[in-house]
Structure 1
Amino acid sequence: MMLALLVFSLGMVVYVVAGYPLLLLALWRLKGPRAVPEEVAPLRIDFLIPAHNEGAIIRDKIENTFNLRNRFGHELRVLVVSDGSTDDTVAQARAVDDPRLTVVETPGRLGKLGGLNMALEMLDGDIVVFSDANALLSKGTLDALSRHFADPEVGGVCGQITIDEDDDGEIAKADGAYWRYDQAMKRAESDLGGTVSAQGSIYAIRRALTGPIPPGVADDFLMSVRVVEQGFRLAFEPRATTREAVTEHAGNEMARRIRSTEMGWRGLMMMRGLMNPAKHGLYGWQLLSHKGLRRMTPFFLLLAFVANLVLIGQGLILTALGLGQIAFYGIAVLAWLLPPLRRLPGVGKVLFFVLGNLGMALGLFAYLRGKKSSIWTPVRA
C-alpha cells in the first residue's frame, strides 16, 4: 500500500515538474510555431494602471507607457486609478502633463479589484492593457501585443516577465529560473491550445471580453481565462517584456505565494469547467496540468515523504530515496534559518522550491477556510 502511494505521488510530481513540459515541447515541435500577424489596423488602446502608495514610481511608469513605440498609430490613453493612496501618488501622476492621461481616485481603500472594477466602467476603447505600477515595459511592448489582435480568434495576449538578477540574491536567481521555465511552457501552450492564463504585470484583453471581477480572486487569472470561456484564444508574446525586482526576504516570498494561491485557486474553481480535455481539448489539458495539478504538488510531495519514511529500511533504493528526501528538506530548513547558506550551489533553488510549495499548501488551506484576500500591500525589493 505504502509503496503504491509512493510511486503514485512521486509520479504525479514528476509529471507536473517535467512530464507535462516535455510533452508540451514534443507536441510543439510536431505542430510548429503559430503564425502571428505582422500588421494591425489602428486600435483604441487604454492602459489601466492600478496604484496604491506608488508615489515614488508612478511618474516613471506613466512616462514609460507614453514612450512605448507605436508604429501602427494606435490611439493610446492611460488611466491611473489610485486605490486609497495616502502618499503623493495622485500628485505625482497628475504632474505628467499629457491630455491622454486620466487620474482617478477610489472613495477610500477598495483593494485592487475594487479599483479595477471602477476603472473598467470608464473605458470604451477596443483593447485594455493591464499593467502594474512597478512594471516598466520594454520599448516594443505595445507593438508586440497589439499585432495579435489582427487575428479575430485572439481575445487576449500576455507578456513576458524577467526577474532582476543583477544582484547576488539567491531567491531572485531561483525566481528568475522559475519564470524562464514557466514562460517556456507558456510559449508552447500559446502555439497549441492557447496560453492558460496571464500574469498581472502586463496583459491585454479586448474590452468587449472584460467584465466585473468578483471579490477574492486573482484578477489576471480570471480576466484572461474568461477570454477562453467566451470562445477566444489567449496568446503569449515574448517580445512584450517587463522587468521586476524580487524580495530576498523568505517570509515575504512565502506571504506572496500564500495569497496568490488562495486567490488563484478560488478563480480556478470558478472556472473549473474549462479543465475538461474532453470538452476543451488541448486547452483543458493544459489548464488542468499547469494550474490544477501544479497547485496539488505540495500534497503529492507530502504523501511521497510520509510513505517513504515508512518504507525506509525496506531495501537500498527506498532507504536511499527516503534519506535523500530528509536531506533535501533539511537543507531548505537550514537555508531558511541561516541565509548565508543560500549562496552555496543549488541551495537557493532548494529553498525556493520548498517555500513555493509550502506557500501553495497554506494558500489552499486559506481558500478552504473561506479566507478572501481583498486588500494587499505589495512588498518592494
Structure 2
Amino acid sequence: MKILFWVSLFGILHTFVIYPITLCILNKFKNNTVEFNNNDSEKFVSIIIPAHNEEKVIEKKLDNLINLDYKKDNLEIIIASDNSTDNTNNIVAKYIAKNNLEKLVKLYIVKERKGKTNAQNEAVRLSKGEILVFSDANSILKKNSIKELVKMFVDEKIGYVSGRLEYYNEETTNSANSEKSYWNYDLFMRKMESNIDSITAGNGAIYAIRKSDYLDLEPILCHDSSMPIKMVMANKKAKYNENAIAYEKAGESSEDEFKRKVRMARQIISLTYSDLEKYNIFKHGYFSYFYFSHRYLRNSLFLLHLILYISNVILINDGIIYVFALILQTSVYIMAYIGYLLRRNRVSKILYIPFYYTMTIFAQLKGAINDITGKSKPIWEKAESTR
C-alpha cells in the first residue's frame, strides 16, 4: 500500500513540478530552435473551418479570414458546414455572393452529421492547398497568422504546426480566469517541447498540416490530440509557433468548462493506454518522455488522485506523515466543495483553484467512463458562453 501511495504521489508531482523543471534544463542545453525567415506567400493554402450551427459567429469569422495577410491568389477558404440546421449555410452563401468571393470562399455542406473530424476529412478531399490550415468558427486569427504557420513548412521534416490560442475574456469570470492560467502554463511547456523536439498536442483554434502528411482520422478522434502523435510516428516533427495567434472567449461558466473537458477526454483511455509505440524512448527519444510526462500522467490524474486518497486512508496509522497528507488532501477537497458552492460569485483563488482543478479531475473520470462504456460520441453541442 505504501508503494501505491508514493508512486501515485510521485506521478502527480512529476506532472506539475518535476517535468517542467526537467524541460527547463533540457531547453537550456538541447534547444534546437530554428529561425524561419521565409515570410512569402508562395505556398497554396487551404483554410478549413468546420462549423455546426455557428450563425452567431460565422460572418465575423469570414470577415477575419478574408482580411488575413496572405496572397489571395494562393488561398482558398472552405467552410465545412456539418449538417447545420440554423442559418449558417444561408449566411455563408449570401456573404460569398454579396462580396463576389466565389473564387476564394467555398461552402461545403456535409450531408450527414458525423462530427468535426469527419467534416474536416471531407473538406480536405476537396482542398487544393499544399498546406492545410484549420481553425474553429469562433476563433479570430491574427492578421499574420497564416504566414507564421506556413513559413515553418520550409523544413520538410515538419508535418504539423500549432499556433497559440489566447483567451481575451479572462477577467470576466472565475472560470475564464482559471482556464487562462491553466492554458498559459500548458503553453509554457509546449514551447519548450517544440524547441527540443516535438509537441505532444495542439489546439483546434489554429494549426496547419502539410497536405501530403494528412491522415483521415476516425470521427471519434480529434486532430488536437492525435495528429502530433501521428506525425512523430511517421518520423516527422510537430512544432509550435507562438507568433501564429488565435483569439477566443474562454467558457464563462464552470458548467460549460466541465462539458468541454469531458468532451476533450472522450478518448482518454483509448488514446493514453493504447498504441504503446509512442512510449518507446529508444525509438522516439525526447518525444516519448514528453508524452509520458505531459499526456500519460496528466490523463491519469483522476486515477492517481483516487489511489493516493484511498491508500492514504488505509495508511493513516502508519506515521505522522500519512496523517498530515490526509489532512492536506481532505482540506483541498473541502475548499474545492466550497468553491463549487460559490462558483457563480467572484471568490478568492484560494477557493476557486481547488474547485477548478477538482472539476478537471472529475471531467477526466467522466470522460474515462464514457470511453470505456462506449458512450463517447464524435458530436457535441458547443458551449454557448464561448460564442
TM-score, normalisation: structure 1: 0.94
Q: Could you say which residue in structure 2 is the equivalent of 1:54?
A: 54
Q: Could you say which residue in structure 2 is the equivalent of 1:43?
A: 43
- 1:299 and 2:303 matched: yes
Q: Quick one: percent identity of the two aligned structures?
A: 26
1:103-123 CA distance string (max 9 Å, x none): 011113232222122111101
Partners of 1:100 and 1:79 lie apart in 2 by: 9
- Distance of aligned partners of 1:317 and 1:270 in 2 relative to their CA distance in 1, 3 Å threshold: closer
Q: Could you say which residue in structure 2 is the equivalent of 1:336?
A: 340
C-alpha displacement of 1:264: 4.8
- Distance of aligned partners of 1:268 and 1:100 in 2 relative to their CA distance in 1, 3 Å threshold: farther
1:137-161 CA distance string (max 9 Å, x none): 1122111111101111111100111
1:234-277 CA distance string (max 9 Å, x none): 11000111122222332332222122112354344564322211
Amino acid across the alignment from 2:67: N
Kept in 2, the 8 Å contact 1:34–1:191? The answer is: yes
Which of 375, 379, 382 is the matching residue for 1:375? 379
Q: Which runs of 5+ in 2 are unaligned?
A: none
Kept in 2, the 8 Å contact 1:13–1:300? The answer is: yes
Kept in 2, the 8 Å contact 1:51–1:80? The answer is: yes
- Distance of aligned partners of 1:272 and 1:261 in 2 relative to their CA distance in 1, 3 Å threshold: farther
Amino acid across the alignment from 1:169: T
Which of 112, 133, 138 is the matching residue for 2:116? 112
Q: Could you say which residue in structure 1 is the equivalent of 2:220?
A: 216
- Distance of aligned partners of 1:342 and 1:314 in 2 relative to their CA distance in 1, 3 Å threshold: farther
C-alpha displacement of 1:58: 0.6
Partners of 2:194 and 2:216 lie apart in 1 by: 25
Give the secondary structure class of the aligned counterpart of 2:56: coil
Kept in 1, the 8 Å contact 2:367–2:376? The answer is: no
C-alpha displacement of 1:351: 1.2
1:157-211 CA distance string (max 9 Å, x none): 0011112334331111111111111111110000112111211111100001112
Q: Could you say which residue in structure 2 is the equivalent of 1:277?
A: 281
Q: Could you say which residue in structure 2 is the equivalent of 1:11?
A: 10
Amino acid across the alignment from 1:259: R
Q: Could you say which residue in structure 2 is the equivalent of 1:249?
A: 253
Partners of 2:288 and 2:246 lie apart in 1 by: 28
- Distance of aligned partners of 1:74 and 1:334 in 2 relative to their CA distance in 1, 3 Å threshold: farther
- Distance of aligned partners of 1:342 and 1:5 in 2 relative to their CA distance in 1, 3 Å threshold: farther
Kept in 2, the 8 Å contact 1:217–1:264? The answer is: no
- 1:232 and 2:231 matched: no
Partners of 1:174 and 1:66 lie apart in 2 by: 33
C-alpha displacement of 1:334: 2.0
Higher mean C-alpha deviation, range 22-31 or range 303-312: 303-312
Higher mean C-alpha deviation, range 50-59 or range 248-257: 248-257
Amino acid across the alignment from 1:53: N
Kept in 2, the 8 Å contact 1:69–1:139? The answer is: yes
Q: Could you say which residue in structure 2 is the equivalent of 1:168?
A: 172
Partners of 2:131 and 2:384 lie apart in 1 by: 29
Q: Could you say which residue in structure 1 is the equivalent of 2:82?
A: 83
Higher mean C-alpha deviation, range 183-192 or range 345-354: 345-354
Partners of 2:361 and 2:134 lie apart in 1 by: 28
Higher mean C-alpha deviation, range 262-271 or range 9-18: 262-271
1:31-58 CA distance string (max 9 Å, x none): 2351131115510000000001111211
Kept in 1, the 8 Å contact 2:340–2:352? The answer is: no
- Distance of aligned partners of 1:376 and 1:108 in 2 relative to their CA distance in 1, 3 Å threshold: same
- 1:198 and 2:199 matched: no
Kept in 1, the 8 Å contact 2:338–2:351? The answer is: no
Give the secondary structure class of the aligned counterpart of 1:240: strand
Give the secondary structure class of the aligned counterpart of 2:47: strand
Partners of 1:7 and 1:275 lie apart in 2 by: 22
Q: Could you say which residue in structure 2 is the equivalent of 1:263?
A: 267
Partners of 1:208 and 1:80 lie apart in 2 by: 21
C-alpha displacement of 1:313: 4.9
Alignment length (residue pairs): 379
1:307-346 CA distance string (max 9 Å, x none): 2223335443322221111110111122212325661132
1:21-79 CA distance string (max 9 Å, x none): 11111100112351131115510000000001111211111221121223x78711100
Q: 1:57-68 counterparts in 2 under 5 A? A: 57-68=57-68
TM-score, normalisation: structure 2: 0.92
Partners of 1:360 and 1:33 lie apart in 2 by: 33
Amino acid across the alignment from 1:52: H
Higher mean C-alpha deviation, range 219-228 or range 49-58: 219-228
Kept in 1, the 8 Å contact 2:53–2:84? The answer is: yes
Partners of 2:35 and 2:90 lie apart in 1 by: 40
